[in-house]
Structure 1
Amino acid sequence: MSRTIVVAATPTSNGDLHIGHMAGPYLAGDVYARYLRATGVPVTYTTCTDDSQSYVVSTARRLGTTPESLCATSTAAIEASLSAMGISMTGLPPIDEVYRHAVLEFVTALYEAGRFRTRTVRLPYATRAGTYLFDGLVTGTCPVCLAGSSGGVCEACGHPNNYDQLLDPRSTVDPDDPVSYRDAEILVLPMEDYRDRLTAYFAERAGKWRTHAAQLIGELLARPLPEIPVTIPAGWGVPAPFPETHGQMLYPWIEAMPAVMYSTWWSVGDTALPVDEHWRAEHDAEVVYFHGYDNVYHWGLMDLVFLLAHGDRYVLPAVNVCNEFYDLAGEKFSTSRNHLIWSVDLVAEVPRDLVRFHLALTAPEQARTNFSREALHDTAYRRLGTPWNALADAMSARGLAGTLPVTPAGRRRAAAMLERFHSGYALPGYSMNRVAETVLTHLARLRDLAADPTTAHGDLVLEVRTLLAGAAPILVDTAEAATAAGVDLSLSAVQPDSVPAFELPRLPEEASHEAADHRDSAVPDLLPLPLSAGAGARGRPLRDER
């Protein structure tokens, strides 16, 4: 069976992950990967930190530290947050010489094949600092939607803004530093050279992308496609090895494809193989990306062009699963106002199964959604925990033991449950929201079934086991307890004639009456740690109002 490679957007190492990030690509990718494993599919779920981003430089300047120190501290914090949330990755691979060699090998092959062109471009320039401004080093107004935007891509509309296209540019490091423009000679990859293949690729995948992201792809293809910077005059990143651009760095965004090939190779663990082995087309892996809407241009189009530029060497992504923004108490996450909650803090206060379930239920899949402490409490205890534990008590009260026969009616109901779970987990309709709602629907039904003395014991056990298996990719600690007790949580379509009895693991109880009375305020009471101003995924780096 071919491997599935699940890739979550690579987090920028300029801070930790807050719950807005976690509710996006990281939890969604984890739940999908766990689902595939439960169906017997070999899966590698991976990502790596994005150390070369200009946001590392701008954040380090603001915090009075060095980019190197910020990367090290942030990577440790990100890895701790992923672990605390139960994200099933091997870990974060080191951004070391092996990584840099993989990146250079990937881009040098394209250079030697003649894919790049030399261009003279006009870049914003910080006059006093004497530095070129791009991406996280510059802010201004999006030329497409007129919203406030960083360089590179607009968070609001998703459209790119290269070079001098950003209106009213200002330095993010020193807003008082006058900005002028200077010419620079760089290498680019012309995206228009791949229009026909891009058009065919998206035609083959029509209906597989979420609506808003698909609309953006249509808008981008309806315009002249930009030329992708390959090198940039900068002081941080991977040095470009090309004689035409001596002293420049590789443009940070073009590291994405070799970066995830490297992280896949590292996560699989067979380091005797070439770094790009698992992405080679002959292995026919299925690649699935999880990222945010403001990352559609990069992961959906730009990175795809870099794969296409290698000819038929690499597998192309099957689909991109894109999320919208997750707000906090009705407002954007904001580091400057301490309006955020770090993931690691939240799971230290509320058991992570309950946090994961609430984030799955409310994740911003098709539109922006809102996190509130009140809603988390309601989901965790009233809607999920209390009825779940009541069902566990009702099963225990029946004194179930041994192997129990299942009636045809019980098998039919279990099969119907399983079908609904598969429809929520499987591509292209993947939706944690619907899976979580399915858990709540069947939880209420099974409580009634358990209370009915005429319900066959085997039917009840089979259907509760199906509920537990369907919820397992989200409720990871509960699933681990059940598996340790010998419960089969595979999502097999085969419905057995008999089933072993088991105890349904209980969910954590509400800690206190004070917790039940807790309500949100405009500013959350979990304040951020002083590590840094926050972090984002590639395409979702730290911005002040995130």
Structure 2
Amino acid sequence: MSGRSRRRAVVVAATPTPNGDLHIGHMAGPYLAGDVYSRYLAADGRDVIYTTCTDDSQTYVTTTARRLGVSAEQLCAESTAKIERSISAMGLSMEGLPPIDDRYRATVLQFFTRLHETGRLRERTVRLPYAQESGRYLYDGLMTGSCPVCLTGSAGGVCEGCGHPNNADELLGARSVLEPDSPVTTREVTILVLPMEEYRERLTSYFDERLGRWRPHAAQLVRELLARPLPEIPVTVPGDWGIAAPFPETPGQILYPWVEAMPAVMYSTWWSADRRGERTEAVDELWRADSGTELVYFHGFDNVYHWGLLDLVLLMAHGDRYVLPEANISNEFYDLEGEKFSTSRNHLIWSADLLAEVPRDLVRFYLALTAPEFQRTDFSTAALTEVTERRLIGPWNRLAEALDALAPAGAGSPLPTTATGRDRAAGIIERFRLTYELDGFNLGRSAENVVAALDRLAAAAQEPRERDDALGTGDLLLQVRALLACAAPLLIDAAAEATAAGVDLALDAEQPEKITPFALPRLPRAARAGAARTEVAA
């Protein structure tokens, strides 16, 4: 790895709420990005765990269950099965989704009991919105109103548009989602909080060191939040869906849903390691500061406050017990034909439905090419078919045919390579590293790198040459292998086929002086231009 770190990596994708399946907008954000980064690390010789965990306690589970007329428990179970199906269909390199069981709940409770015992939590009397007819306290997805910062429509907890948090009674014009006609007042209630302001000095030091590798929009939000008094993190709230809080100061309350994420992904890391046969004494062992783990988060911009600050402070509140994340890679919204994906309006494409009709290498490539990394981008099934055919499938398969003619796989002896050819193959890998490493991680540029190298090599393979030009053919094969290895985190099925045929796709290997001819796997074409047709409500 040319001196690069060989630390174990734990890569975390934002915890999905089990109130439905993952649509293409979700997949084009943190889930594909986290998978590509994880596959790159593995190909580079790193030990990596890519993981996530369903966020069962979210209020959006209860509101969706009410809208669908099912129980929250049934919705969680059915949605988790669908999410796991989508994870498998996309080929994400996770062990799966861990069960939300007694071990999970014990892990969460231990995390917060430790904070309570060390005096990190504080009692606060706050005014919470209160739906008078149902007698329900409102927070997060249970209420809607206007953001106090940008004044646009927002749910409770955090504004999806500007990313700023709104706690307690800060949401303007709060209304109940479950009882939209119910009068909403505020009532005093005593809860436990974690004061974020107490960690300002450590937060400032942390971001001084790491904020430079964050994307601009997310970094701007962090600077905005640090420029004003930091909020207090609710740890308990009065509610009836979630994990019961065990603290004597707040009888009958539950843990605030958003604070579960850190112990949840510690649990999912432990579960994933256990599935791989790696036994650890403690659930949080791989997150300990002395573990040497490199921790990286992938999430959407609307979760920058949660994953970037709230969860960071939860780790810091444990003193020096835990490793802190090296980076947060956030994405913007992915639109569908010019409008935001919307489950309630049926304006969406479920990931599993698209993957049932379009080969997943093509889906992964197109989502990477159009990923909403720095600004909102747009998905279109027609564009997927046209772009992948023109920019990927056509030149890729022409190159494969040319290689078959020049050096049929399994025919003849290994071909020699030159120093120039080895340097060029190494150069291909270095160009891709610039888009796969954290400092410049960029799915779109990675996909463009595939296209650029493919165009050059396809043209080179078509050039007139003497059939006994063994050196030139060896160099061409070496560079094609480098391209295939670099494209492997995106084109996982082509890579798997090549690996099964004996092609070494490791990125940390030396370039050889001889190379055995191999077949470049063909890429399939999309089933049809109208695959996974979208229904848009009027």
TM-score by length of 1: 0.94
**AA partner of residue 379 (structure 2):** F
1:485 maps onto 2:501 in alignment: yes
Counterpart of 1:496, as a letter, is: P
Where do residues 245-324 of structure 1 align in structure 2 (5 Å cutoff)? 245-269=250-274, 270-324=278-332
- In the alignment, residue 330 of structure 1 is paired with which amino acid? G
The aligned counterpart of 1:534 is none
Residue segments in structure 1 that go unaligned for 5+ positions in a row: 529-543
Q: Which amino acid aligns with 2:389?
A: Y
- Please list, as runs of the form range in 1=range in 2, the aligned pairs for 1:208-223 lying within 5 A after superposition: 208-223=213-228
* Equivalent-residue separation in structure 1 for 2:263 and 2:237 (angstroms): 18
Structure 1 partner of 2:478: 462
Distance 1:399 1:498 in 2: 13
Equivalent residue number for residue 453 of structure 1: 464
**Alpha-carbon distance in structure 2 between the residues aligned to 1:181 and 1:503:** 69
Is residue 6–residue 44 contact of structure 1 (8 Å, CA) maintained in 2? yes
Q: Distance in 2 between matches of 1:43 and 1:277?
A: 15
> Aligned pair 1:412/2:423, yes or no?
yes
Q: 2: CA distance between counterparts of 1:37 and 1:291? A: 21
- Superposed, which structure 2 residues align to 1:37-436 within 5 Å? 37-269=42-274, 270-400=278-408, 401=411, 402-436=413-447
Structure 1, residues 242-280: CA drift from partner, whole Å, max 9, x if none?
Answer: 000000000011111100100000000045521000000
**Equivalent pair of 1:138/1:171 in contact (CA under 8 Å):** yes
Q: Distance in 1 between matches of 2:107 and 2:449?
A: 43
User: Is 1:496 aligned to 2:512, yes or no?
Assistant: yes
Instruction: Give the unaligned 5+ runs of structure 2.
Output: 1-5
The alpha-carbon distance between structure 1 residues 303 and 81, as it changes in their structure 2 partners (threshold 3 A), is same
Q: Would you say the 8 A contact 1:418–1:493 is kept in 2?
A: no
* Amino acid aligned to 1:268: A
Could you tell me which residue of structure 1 aligns to residue 3 of structure 2?
none
Partner of 1:532: none
Q: Which amino acid aligns with 1:434?
A: R
CA distance in 2, matches of 1:82, 1:147: 33
- 1:431-484 deviation per Cα after TM superposition (whole angstroms, max 9, x unaligned): 111110000001110111101233711011001101100100010111110000
Is residue 25 from structure 1 mapped to residue 21 from structure 2 by the alignment? no
SS in 1 for 2:154: strand
Q: Distance in 1 between matches of 2:535 and 2:492?
A: 26
Query: 1:345–1:526: 8 Å Cα contact kept in structure 2?
Result: no
CA distance in 1, matches of 2:407, 2:323: 53
> Would you identify which runs of 4 or more consecutive aligned residues in structure 1 move more than 2 Å?
399-402, 524-528
> Which letter does structure 2 place at the counterpart of 1:501?
P
The Cα of 1:371 is off from its aligned counterpart by 0.6
C-alpha contact 1:139 1:149 (8 A) present in aligned 2: yes
CA distance in 1 between partners of 2:344 and 2:96 (Å): 30
- In structure 1, how many angstroms separate the alpha carbons of the residues matched to 2:508 and 2:460? 23
Select the structure with the greater relative contact order (CA < 8 A; seq sep ≥ 6).
1
Give the Cα separation in 1 of the matches to 2:217 and 2:211. 13
What secondary structure, in the 3-state scheme, does the structure 1 residue paired with 2:187 have? strand
TM-aligned CA deviation for residue 174 of structure 1: 2.0
Q: Normalised by the size of structure 2, how large is the TM-score?
A: 0.95
Match for 2:497: what amino acid? Answer: A
Q: Which amino acid aligns with 1:406?
A: T
How many Å separate the matches in 1 of 2:509 and 2:429?
Answer: 7
Residue type at the aligned position of 2:24: I
CA distance in 1, matches of 2:320, 2:351: 40
CA contact (8 A) 2:33 2:298 kept: yes
CA-CA distance at 1:36 after TM superposition: 0.3
SS state of the match for residue 180, structure 1? Answer: strand
**Equivalent position to 1:443, from 440, 454, 459:** 454
Q: Any idea what the Cα deviations from partners look like across 1:313-352, whole Å, max 9, x if unmatched?
A: 0000000001111000011111222110000000011100
Q: Distance in 2 between matches of 1:399 and 1:198?
A: 57
Paired residues of 1:2 and 1:42 also in contact (CA < 8 A): yes
Percent of counterpart pairs with the same letter? Answer: 65
Question: Cα deviation per residue 1:119-174 (whole Å; 9 max; x = unaligned)?
Answer: 11111111111100100000000000011000000000000000000001111112
| 1:492 Cα offset (Å) | 2.3
**1:366 maps to amino acid:** F
Helix, strand or coil at the partner of 2:127: strand
1:458 aligned partner, one-letter code:
G
